[in-house]
Structure 1
Amino acid sequence: MTNAKLGDALRVLGLDGAAARVYLALLDVAPAPLGAVAAATGLDGAELDAAYGALVDAGLASAAKDGGDVVAPVPPAAGLEILARHRAAEVEESRIAVGGAFDSFRRQRLAAYNDDLVEVVTGDAIGPRMRQAWASAREQIRQFESPPYFPLSSATDDSLATLARGVRQRVVYSRDSLEHPGHLRDVIEPCVQAGEQARTLPSVPVKLVIIDEAYALVSLSIEQADVHNTMLVVQPCGLLSALVALFELSWQSAVPFPGRAARPGGLPPADRRLLWLLAGGAGDDVIARELGVSRRTFFRRLQILMARAGAANRFQLALQAQRSGWL
């Protein structure tokens, strides 16, 4: 270890610069008279006595002989333990003091402080803020997903890039998401195949994105008008905790969506998509539209799958598809 690093370590333990210089000199010249230490450090008189006394009090140095002028460092284990405990106590006192001061500030200026907990983003500012959110994620993104959708052409690419960085992504899709034209093929399937963990519910309570434990984006959309022009950014507070709890509760009750671990089992992509839509609760007309076929062709494919699985109805088909690794 260099002298600079050792000096920094001693200062971290609570010894001042003068005491650190004396200790370094002791390691170089001891056992030696205090005069030799003074010459090595450039300290003398009261300053030298105070620095050396601090080392003795810390259990790092002592006279080599009782009453003698020759001094030397001593094994530091006991002294370092004492210093470490003192520093830990000081840090704890500081933590309590700073925390108490902030709590006092929050009580006295609660109204003003709360103004910063929820930010309103509108119009053209929504797109850049959403992209920034995906780019800032480090560990996990949790999302409720449903129409209407903000017209952000790069949304799927941003999600795929986030998955590629190793960020865990859990999404609960509403049935409307599955039934939205082209959304399953162009958005959901690519993300699921890239590693997204997806589940479905008949509906989700709110359009929501939670970035790590840092903040949440909440859409104030008007579904009837297909408008998505206002978004809330919620910072850490009781509301954010409630949104996290809401997501986790919904996640537990949602139906798992097939992931990239599912085995294709020899099924064509169109048949796998058919089963995915069935599992998500999509209606017959929607499934036929997503497959690009007529209702008659859809029912024929469904009957073929049921026969292949040995299922008498759609419920049995779902069970057999799960067992066969089709879902």
Structure 2
Amino acid sequence: MKDDDNPLAAVGVEAEDERIYRNLLRRPRATLPELAARTGHTMATLRHVLCRLESLGLATRMAGRPVRYVPTRPDVAVDALISRREEGLAQARLAARELLAETPRVENHAPEELVEVVQGQAAVVQRFTQLQQTATRELLVLDRPPYAQDPTEQNAAEMERLSHGLLVRGIYDASALEIPGKLRLAQESAAAGEQARVSPEVPMKLAIVDRETAILPLSTDASASADSAVIVHSSSLLDALVTLFEILWRSALPLPALGSPTRPADMPDPELFALLAAGLKDEAVARQLGVSLRTVHRRVSELMDRLGARTRFQAGLLAARRGWWDPEP
């Protein structure tokens, strides 16, 4: 990392202060004249910088004469700064809630403000991330193309909210799980606490935050990118979207989990079974497993023979009877 980078700016450390801190880390127990000689700064400037470093907990003075400065270990110092910043952000969030409470209800959203249009892929991503970060009770998600973000990368904002105990319910369209690696990401989210289900017919992409705000793309074309979206605030339209989610939730099936510790030991080919139970077609299963379509056909045939099933539907029923999979939502 170069000296003129300033990664600690995120926790309130100015670029010049960080450079002096780095200098101290390389040569601790330096005196003021030694620092001046190494950095080219005047003694007066260094006094101000060191005073700021002390107030941030990045450096301390040693007893005795001449005065020497010792840097605090980076992991300890930065963790403390992050905690301080998080406390400040939490207080700001509470203040925002209090300010909203002071606003007359009729002015929270005027009729013309109940629906917003967000233009541009970057703006859509930013707004979606903001909505996830402000969720306090629950996040309801219909997951299907089109995507504004890379669908092969984990949703870091959701994972962060899950780690803080947010209730997240997600319904994945089977076509979304055909994207290479997407099923694994969905299972990772489920392992982190998301309540995940699968449906063959998710009509749109949608996210609802605390049943107060929703975001959905303007286009439902799966081949397009989500470069524009609609934000819907509390209204009868939002109520209808929540109702739609609940109807789909009741008819959706639980997302099969790979490597589940509760999976029966006698289940043959569990990875293949999980993909089939998720509703993926043979071509998509082959891509997920990294094998040929012919291999998938052979393994499916072996699985059905093991179950004594003539059709895939019958195989699902027989698997449920054996306790391999719970088809009840």
Query: What range is the shorter-chain TM-score in?
Result: 0.5 to 0.7
2:117 aligned counterpart, secondary structure: strand
Asked if 1 retains the 8 angstrom alpha-carbon contact of 2:146 and 2:225, the reply is yes
Asked if 2 retains the 8 angstrom alpha-carbon contact of 1:175 and 1:282, the reply is yes
Select 1:286's aligned residue among 284, 287, 291.
284
Question: Given residue 116 of structure 1, which amino acid in structure 2 is its aligned partner?
Answer: E
Question: Given residue 241 of structure 2, which amino acid in structure 1 is its aligned partner?
Answer: L
Please report how far the alpha carbon of residue 200 of structure 1 lies from its aligned counterpart in structure 2 after TM superposition. Answer: 2.0
1:195 aligned counterpart, secondary structure: coil
Please report how far the alpha carbon of residue 238 of structure 1 lies from its aligned counterpart in structure 2 after TM superposition. Answer: 0.9
Give 2:203's aligned residue: 205
Asked if 1 retains the 8 angstrom alpha-carbon contact of 2:217 and 2:230, the reply is yes
1:115 is the counterpart of 2:112 = yes
Asked if 2 retains the 8 angstrom alpha-carbon contact of 1:145 and 1:174, the reply is yes
Separation of aligned partners in 2, 1:262 and 1:236: 41
Change (3 A) 1:194 1:271: farther
User: Structure 2 unaligned runs (5+)?
Assistant: 1-103
Aligned length: 219
Give 1:248's aligned residue: 246
Give 1:239's aligned residue: 237
Give 1:274's aligned residue: 272
Separation of aligned partners in 2, 1:225 and 1:317: 33
Asked if 2 retains the 8 angstrom alpha-carbon contact of 1:131 and 1:155, the reply is no
Please report how far the alpha carbon of residue 209 of structure 1 lies from its aligned counterpart in structure 2 after TM superposition. Answer: 0.2
Change (3 A) 1:246 1:239: same
Per-residue CA deviation, residues 93-127 of structure 1 (Å, 9 max, x unaligned), is xxxxxxxx977x89xxxxx9211111211212111
1:143 is the counterpart of 2:141 = yes
Per-residue CA deviation, residues 12-33 of structure 1 (Å, 9 max, x unaligned), is xxxxxxxxxxxxxxxxxxxxxx
The range that moved more, 147-156 or 227-236, is 147-156
Query: TM-score, normalising length from structure 1?
Result: 0.59
Give 2:126's aligned residue: 128
**Higher-Rg member (1/2):** 1
1:151 aligned counterpart, secondary structure: coil
Spell out the pairing of 1:87-126 with structure 2 (5 A cutoff): 113-123=110-120, 124-126=122-124
Please report how far the alpha carbon of residue 190 of structure 1 lies from its aligned counterpart in structure 2 after TM superposition. Answer: 1.0
User: Structure 1 unaligned runs (5+)?
Assistant: 1-100, 107-111
CA RMSD of aligned residues (A): 2.8
Question: Given residue 180 of structure 1, which amino acid in structure 2 is its aligned partner?
Answer: I
Per-residue CA deviation, residues 70-115 of structure 1 (Å, 9 max, x unaligned), is xxxxxxxxxxxxxxxxxxxxxxxxxxxxxxx977x89xxxxx9211
Please report how far the alpha carbon of residue 247 of structure 1 lies from its aligned counterpart in structure 2 after TM superposition. Answer: 0.7
Query: TM-score, normalising length from structure 2?
Result: 0.59
Please report how far the alpha carbon of residue 207 of structure 1 lies from its aligned counterpart in structure 2 after TM superposition. Answer: 1.0
Separation of aligned partners in 2, 1:139 and 1:102: 20
Which is richer in helix?
A: 1
Question: Given residue 167 of structure 1, which amino acid in structure 2 is its aligned partner?
Answer: L
Spell out the pairing of 1:6-155 with structure 2 (5 A cutoff): 113-123=110-120, 124-151=122-149, 155=154
Asked if 1 retains the 8 angstrom alpha-carbon contact of 2:217 and 2:226, the reply is yes
Change (3 A) 1:203 1:292: same
Asked if 1 retains the 8 angstrom alpha-carbon contact of 2:171 and 2:197, the reply is yes
Question: Given residue 264 of structure 1, which amino acid in structure 2 is its aligned partner?
Answer: R
Please report how far the alpha carbon of residue 250 of structure 1 lies from its aligned counterpart in structure 2 after TM superposition. Answer: 1.3
Identity across the alignment (%):
38
Asked if 2 retains the 8 angstrom alpha-carbon contact of 1:139 and 1:212, the reply is yes
Change (3 A) 1:245 1:224: closer
